[in-house]
Amino acid sequence: MIASVAKALEILNLFSTAEPCLTLTTISKRLGMHKSTAHHLLNTLLQYGFIEQQADDSYALGKTIIALTQNILVNVELRDRAAPLLRELADTCNESVYLTVRDGDRVLYIYAIESSQRLLARTAVGDYAPLYCTAVGKAVLAFLPPAEVSRLYADRPDSLVAFTPHTLTNFRQLQDDLARSRSRGYTVDNQEHELNTFCVGAPIFDAHNAVIGACSISGLDTEIIDSRLEVLSGGVVYTAQQISRRMGYVPERMSMVRQNMAGK
């Protein structure tokens, strides 16, 4: 661990949507370092475009970071392969479509085709969401080794936080839901993460037949998980499978894996 590099990265992590601009003194105080040290670090970050300085001398994350995004492995290997398939899906269902990858106990949104109905401004790309209460997250959980799911949530009651009254906060409930999802091949999110948001999700596998992420259809109408469920679930599952294929996944092998999981 190189201390100065760690400090520089901590500076980058200090910025948030709520506070996209920070002053030198704020930064130095928050991280408990001297103004001078923070200034040196910021100058270096500035030189490389990772930080930008505003007219009022305050600092903000630099645009260069957006450009870096094009070189991130999941974007090259997964997003860019999945994008055309997701566009097709979005066109056929006329709802928002999301692509996510698992990152530990969360899911990271890496691509979104947001429908115009969804007039909430901000794109989801870059957002994290829990695994246990989103269609995409549960799609990952359903096809993760059961031991790993238990490690995450069993005997940890505080790990299943209720975002809405619909959130599954009981481990058994969640397990049942995952079992059902496993047999159907898709997941349903009935306002478990956000009220008035309904989603249908399906898992994405890699060449080793391991779940690496999921995609979903998301909208503001109950119909999505009701009258339109059959059509939409067919769509996400098909799309997720196509994406998996492009990741090197071989479906035949998977049926064996499923049988093994069912046997346990």
Site membership for DNA, residue 3 (CB under 7 A): yes
Site membership for DNA, residue 208 (CB under 7 A): no
For residue 100, what are the contacts with CB-CB under 8 A and spacing of at least 6?
Answer: 107, 108, 109, 110, 129, 136, 137, 213, 214, 215, 216
Site membership for DNA, residue 39 (CB under 7 A): yes
Residue the block writes with tokens 């990271």: 108
For a copy of itself, which is the closer residue by CB, 30 or 180? 30
For DNA, which is the closer residue by CB, 22 or 90? 22
Site membership for DNA, residue 106 (CB under 7 A): no
Pairing label, strands 198-205, 187-190:
antiparallel
In single-letter form, the type of residue at position 10 comes to: E
Q: Contact positions toward a copy of itself, by CB under 8 A? A: 1-2, 4-6, 8-10, 12-13, 15-17, 20-21, 40-41, 43-45, 47-48, 50, 52, 54, 60-63, 65-77, 79-81, 83-84, 87-88, 90-91, 101, 103, 108, 110-111, 113-116, 119-123, 125-128
Q: Contacting DNA (CB under 7 A), which of 23, 70, 117, 173? A: 23
The DSSP secondary structure of 176-237, one letter per residue, reads: HHHHHHHHHT-EEEESSSSTT-EEEEEEEE-TTS-EEEEEEEEESSGGGGTTTHHHHHHHHH
**Binding partner of 15, given DNA, a copy of itself, none, CB within 5-8 angstroms per partner class:** a copy of itself
Listed ranges 28-36, 87-95, 128-136, 236-244: which one lies at the site for DNA (CB under 7 A): 28-36
> How far is Cα 226 from Cα 127, in angstroms, rounded to an integer?
27
